[in-house]
């Protein structure tokens, strides 16, 4: 950061984010700054000046004419460039994505050239010097303008954003919900937004005031009432999405796609105003202690244990309702569990793989061929073969099994941790790829895009070997995918953004927004309470039975000591005897009752799937 962009502040600074084309809110917060005697040089906007509401031109003009400090948001970046969308980073096809397309068209149509030129001139960041601290003002993330950071975003994610800063912390926007906390001795402060309420069930909007004192920097989160009804009426008159107009009055967002679970749980809970003192640095100490202090209230996740009455009867639920069943349609994907032995022990492995668990024995090449022959003989039309474990590359027959599947024309997917078992086979894998690689995909399990959280799940010293295997596959042109996990309370949007940054840093050509290239698995806990799925749930949840894995896939396993393999209904349930369907694929072509917590948590509610079809 160049010295001329360091702006000294000699008094209180008022910070707000997201005017969002809401003229009434913008006028109200600027009036509040005047009422408090805070001059324009000490008023800061964290971007997204134009967005959801009706007055794009007038709001931009009000900010411009006020002469305050403002950084460029992703909305200004997109509108100034005439891009096709707002660049908010919403998942394609999500409710937020669909709603955003409507307001963006309105803003793009109504903005004049002068407004766009001004947006283009806004700085992407600058630094404030206040109370003996330097704080970088950004819109979303330090490296990515549309990065969503919330109070519940895991600390390693925030630390990855902030640790290399020369400044003492950041003032950010974009996420729309206020919070303040310390991350590794540095400040992360989000003032919230003024163009929309904070999803707390009230129409109030939020700004903050940072005041230097003799004892340190006082940081206060402040709510503000304004004429939200007029802003909502103008939105409706302009034909903008009704959900956003309603949100101005109800205080509830029309979609929660971008929110992590903690913020979703807190929806409708009124946020309380608050303040905290960041003690002044003493000498060389610039890491004065301040407790983590997210301003928003939190509803704890529902961690009730599973009722012993649930999932006991394959025909009916605990309440006596007909249990949902999934009819078998066609065997589009056949999975082979190559054995449960693995070179690492993950803390939350659904199949309990480890260097000692051999409950599922190694499958042999001959056993696999028998099932491929059955597919061919019965003309089952199977398109894809998947290999999972354990670690498939520990199976001594894995290369021969891959050769057989690829030579017969099957699309073949291998799930691996990318570590030493795979890396020791680099030469034969390169040969296989050269001859038959157009139908081979290797999916590497990288639980998180930060070392800390990946190794929290997989154990110490597991990150770099996996990254090495991943980059080797990418550099040698393998058809590549990555599987991550959603176990740290992030939203899918935030996780995909983080993986996108990781892929870019490593030079790996994977589109993090492609759900087939970056698969993010919902978490499972068979001991936690979850609703049972009934026949009525299909319509209520908008889910079709045909979308579930068990309508079109099966898995072959070989139990330790068994004479022959068996076919089970699901990759997630290799040990439960009620899901073992028989020794042949013909035996397995039957309906499956959703009589397990994983059926509800992972497949129906989590929309999870292990395969690509």
pLDDT interval class at 299 (50, 70, 90): very low
Question: What's the gap between Cα 466 and its chain centre?
Answer: 21
Among the candidates 279, 296, 316, a domain finishes at 279
Residue 464 belongs to domain with CATH number: 3.20.20.70
414 or 88: which leads in pLDDT:
414
| Mean pLDDT across 386-405 | 98
Cα maximum dimension of the chain = 84
Outline where 251-360 has alpha helix (H). Answer: 261-265
Q: Under 8 Å CB-to-CB from 27, ≥6 apart: which residues?
A: 62, 226
Q: Does one domain contain both 170 and 253?
A: yes
Q: Under 8 Å CB-to-CB from 324, ≥6 apart: which residues?
A: 533, 534, 535, 537, 538, 545, 593, 594, 604
Cβ atoms 140, 158 nearer than 8 A: no
Split into its structural domains, the chain has a count of 2
Strand 479-485, strand 325-326: pairing: unpaired
Cis peptide before 204 (omega within 30 of 0): no
In a domain, 567, yes or no: yes
Q: Of 524-533, 568-577, 584-593, which range is least confident?
A: 524-533
DSSP assignment letter at 270? P
Query: Which SS3 state, helix, strand or coil, does residue 601 take?
Result: helix
Enter the tokens of residue 543.
């889910």
Residue 26 belongs to domain with CATH number: 3.60.21.10
Q: Does one domain contain both 108 and 217?
A: yes
Q: Output the average pLDDT for the chain.
A: 91
CA distances from 396 to 209, 412, 470 (A): 64, 18, 22
295 or 317: which leads in pLDDT:
317
In a domain, 324, yes or no: no
Region class of 47: left (phi > 0), else alpha (psi between -120 and 50), else beta = left
Q: Does one domain contain both 549 and 445?
A: yes
| Mean pLDDT across 521-544 | 83
- What is the tens place of the pLDDT at every residue in 17-67? 999 999 999 999 999 999 999 999 999 999 999 999 999 999 999 999 999
Cβ atoms 574, 557 nearer than 8 A: yes
Q: Does one domain contain both 500 and 360?
A: yes
| Mean pLDDT across 323-340 | 96
pLDDT interval class at 298 (50, 70, 90): very low
Q: Does one domain contain both 109 and 212?
A: yes
In a domain, 609, yes or no: no
Among the candidates 239, 257, 279, a domain finishes at 279
What is the value of pTM for the model shown?
Answer: 0.85
CA distances from 43 to 37, 194, 286, 445, 609 (A): 11, 14, 25, 46, 48
Q: Does one domain contain both 270 and 334?
A: no
Per-residue pLDDT at 437 exceeds 70:
yes
pLDDT computed for residue 581 by the predictor: 96
Per-residue pLDDT at 109 exceeds 70:
yes
- Nearest partner of 189 among 15, 427, 317, judged by Cα: 15
DSSP assignment letter at 246? H
CB atoms within 10 A of CB 89: 24
Among the candidates 218, 250, 279, a domain finishes at 279
- What is the tens place of the pLDDT at every residue in 147-195? 999 999 999 999 999 998 999 999 999 999 999 999 988 999 999 999 9
Q: Does one domain contain both 271 and 343?
A: no
In a domain, 612, yes or no: no
Q: Does one domain contain both 122 and 247?
A: yes
- The parent domain of residue 380 ranges over 330-530+545-590
Rounded-to-integer distance, Cα 565 and Cα 557, Å:
5
Question: What's the gap between Cα 314 and its chain centre?
Answer: 34
Rounded-to-integer distance, Cα 332 and Cα 334, Å:
7
CB atoms within 10 A of CB 358: 15
Rounded-to-integer distance, Cα 122 and Cα 543, Å:
45
Q: Does one domain contain both 243 and 378?
A: no
In a domain, 191, yes or no: yes
CB atoms within 10 A of CB 166: 8
Rounded-to-integer distance, Cα 470 and Cα 316, Å:
45
pLDDT computed for residue 302 by the predictor: 52
In a domain, 537, yes or no: no
In a domain, 469, yes or no: yes
Q: Does one domain contain both 252 and 365?
A: no
In a domain, 255, yes or no: yes
Rounded-to-integer distance, Cα 103 and Cα 98, Å:
10
Q: Does one domain contain both 101 and 206?
A: yes
Q: Does one domain contain both 378 and 507?
A: yes
């Amino acid at each position: 950061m160049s010295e001329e962009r360091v702006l000294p502040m000699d008094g209180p600074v008022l910070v707000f984010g997201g005017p969002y084309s809401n003229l009434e809110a913008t006028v109200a917060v600027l009036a509040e700054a005047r009422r408090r005697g805070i001059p324009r040089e000490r008023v800061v906007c964290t971007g997204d000046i134009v967005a959801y509401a009706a007055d794009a031109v007038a709001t931009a003009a009000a900010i411009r004419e006020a002469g305050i400090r403002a950084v460029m948001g992703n909305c200004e970046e997109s509108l100034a460039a005439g891009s096709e969308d707002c660049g908010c980073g919403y998942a394609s096809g999500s409710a937020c994505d669909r709603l955003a397309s409507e307001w963006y068209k309105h803003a793009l149509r109504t903005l004049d050239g002068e407004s766009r030129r001004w947006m283009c001139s806004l700085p992407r960041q600058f630094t404030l010097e206040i109370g003996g601290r330097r704080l970088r003002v950004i819109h979303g993330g330090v490296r990515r303008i549309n990065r969503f950071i919330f109070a519940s975003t895991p600390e390693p994610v925030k630390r990855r954003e902030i640790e290399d800063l020369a400044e003492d912390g950041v003032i950010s926007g974009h996420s729309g919900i206020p919070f303040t906390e310390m991350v590794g001795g540095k400040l992360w402060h989000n003032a919230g937004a003024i163009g929309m309420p904070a999803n707390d069930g009230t129409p109030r909007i939020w700004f903050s005031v940072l005041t230097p004192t003799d004892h340190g920097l006082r940081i206060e989160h402040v709510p503000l009432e304004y004429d939200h009804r007029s802003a909502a009426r103008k939105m409706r008159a302009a034909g903008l999405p009704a959900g956003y107009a309603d949100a101005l009055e109800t205080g509830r967002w029309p979609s929660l796609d971008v929110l992590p679970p903690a913020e979703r749980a807190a929806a409708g809970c009124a946020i309380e105003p608050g303040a905290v003192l960041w003690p002044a640095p003493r000498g060389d100490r610039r890491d004065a202690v301040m407790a983590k202090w997210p301003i928003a209230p939190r509803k704890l996740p529902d961690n009730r244990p599973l009722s012993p009455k649930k999932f006991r009867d394959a025909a009916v639920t605990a309440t006596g309702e007909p249990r949902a069943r999934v009819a078998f349609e066609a065997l589009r994907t056949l999975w082979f569990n190559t054995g449960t032995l693995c070179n690492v022990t993950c803390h939350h492995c659904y199949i309990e793989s480890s260097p000692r668990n051999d409950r599922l024995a190694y499958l042999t090449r001959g056993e696999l061929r028998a099932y491929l022959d059955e597919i061919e003989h019965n003309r089952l039309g199977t398109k894809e073969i998947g290999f999972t474990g354990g670690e498939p590359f520990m199976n001594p027959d894995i290369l021969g099994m891959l050769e057989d599947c690829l030579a017969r024309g099957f699309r073949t997917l291998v799930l691996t941790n990318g570590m030493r078992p795979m890396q020791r086979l680099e030469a034969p894998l390169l040969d296989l790829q050269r001859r038959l690689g157009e139908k081979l995909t290797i999916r590497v399990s990288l639980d998180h895009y930060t070392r800390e959280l990946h190794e929290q799940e997989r154990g110490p010293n597991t990150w770099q070997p996996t990254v090495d295997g991943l980059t080797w596959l990418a550099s040698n042109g393998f058809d590549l995918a990555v599987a991550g996990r959603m176990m740290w309370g992030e939203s899918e949007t935030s996780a995909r953004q983080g993986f996108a940054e990781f892929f870019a840093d490593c030079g790996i050509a994977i589109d993090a927004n492609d759900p087939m290239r970056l698969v993010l698995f919902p978490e499972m806990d068979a001991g936690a309470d979850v609703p049972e799925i009934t026949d009525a749930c299909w319509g209520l949840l908008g889910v079709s039975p045909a979308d579930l894995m068990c309508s079109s896939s099966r898995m072959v396993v070989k139990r330790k000591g068994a004479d022959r393999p068996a076919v089970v209904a699901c990759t997630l349930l290799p040990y439960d005897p009620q899901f073992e369907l028989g020794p042949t694929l013909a035996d397995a072509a039957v309906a499956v009752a959703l009589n397990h917590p994983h059926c509800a948590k992972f497949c129906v509610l989590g929309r999870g799937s292990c395969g690509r079809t």
